[in-house]
Structure 1
Amino acid sequence: MRAEVVGAVRALSDPEHQKRVWIEHEYPSAGYFEDFTMNVNILDDAAVLDRPHETIGYTLASADEAEAMGRLAERIDAVLSSAGDNAADQRIITDPLWETVVDAARAALQLLTLHG
């Protein structure tokens, strides 16, 4: 599950990837699919957005990681409030608040990759 979380956070941290894969649908292989919703669902399924501290020792390795995921959750909630819960990926990644999601994801990714 941790690998899935790291992959989702990595996707949220990379605007070039988002544009190429989520918007232009340039997938790395046949049968591949990925978008914003899929990545958020992975994080939701792992409970690292709504209950990050409860996942320490399972999916997350430290309180620092949990706090970073909590900040990412706040930023995702803010952009969804701004863009709309059912907004298309293009609308989400062009929202003025999107950069805060990318920044929070980068910070979380840095911590997540310190611990493998």
Structure 2
Amino acid sequence: MNKEQLECIAARNRIIAAIQELSDKDYQNKIWADPNYAHAFWDSIRFPEGTLIEEMCLDEYPAKNLIGYSLLNEKEAELVEKAARTLDKALDEIGIQQPDSAYINSPLWEKVIRAAKEAYDFFKKQGFDNEYLSALQADIDNEMSKA
């Protein structure tokens, strides 16, 4: 299967963006947790949580259900599900209404970062999304330079 055969490339892009944010602790510290940054939904843990848990329902259903919709194969599904479930567990244990810094500074957070990095690295390695990944990285670099 290739990316053009997916039913919803926009959902795929949101998943990749959420996974990327979860994989980057420097970004989280500068954009999510910095009290001087002008925060919005997109600039907090709420974006990856909303995408992976609320929108894609990966806390309740297997990610393999997204193959053909927003994911290309079983390995993507496995890695995205692992990241989402690790995030969900951290949210449950730390508490859902905590400031972003509470998550980032928790010892549980390293597991979230590792799982997300593994998934994000796999997306990059496949090469299917080079144009989107380049645009995403440019946006991140731009935001980091402002922070």
2:58–2:85 contact (8 Å) kept in structure 1? no
Is 1:94 aligned to 2:109, yes or no? no
What is the CA distance between 1:76 and its match in structure 2?
A: 1.0
Is 1:41 aligned to 2:60, yes or no? no
| Larger helix percent | 2
Is 1:20 aligned to 2:30, yes or no? yes
Runs (5+) with no aligned partner, structure 2:
1-10, 130-147
Q: Deviations over 1:41-74 (max 9, x none)?
A: 0223134554311000111111001111121122
Rounded to whole Å, the distance in 2 between the matches of 1:12 and 1:33 is 12
1:104 alignment partner in structure 2: 115
Q: How high is the TM-score relative to the length of structure 2?
A: 0.69
2:23–2:117 contact (8 Å) kept in structure 1? yes
2:103–2:109 contact (8 Å) kept in structure 1? yes
Is 1:9 aligned to 2:38, yes or no? no
Is 1:59 aligned to 2:56, yes or no? no
CA RMSD of aligned residues (A): 2.1
The one-letter amino acid paired with 1:39 is P
Rounded to whole Å, the distance in 1 between the matches of 2:18 and 2:42 is 13
Identical amino acids, percent of aligned pairs: 26
Say if 1:49 and 1:56 are closer, same or farther in 2 by CA, change over 3 A.
farther
Q: How high is the TM-score relative to the length of structure 1?
A: 0.85
Say if 1:81 and 1:32 are closer, same or farther in 2 by CA, change over 3 A.
closer
User: How many residue pairs get matched?
Assistant: 114
The one-letter amino acid paired with 1:81 is D
Structure index of larger Rg? 2
Rounded to whole Å, the distance in 2 between the matches of 1:107 and 1:18 is 17
What is the CA distance between 1:110 and its match in structure 2?
A: 1.4
Rounded to whole Å, the distance in 1 between the matches of 2:82 and 2:42 is 27
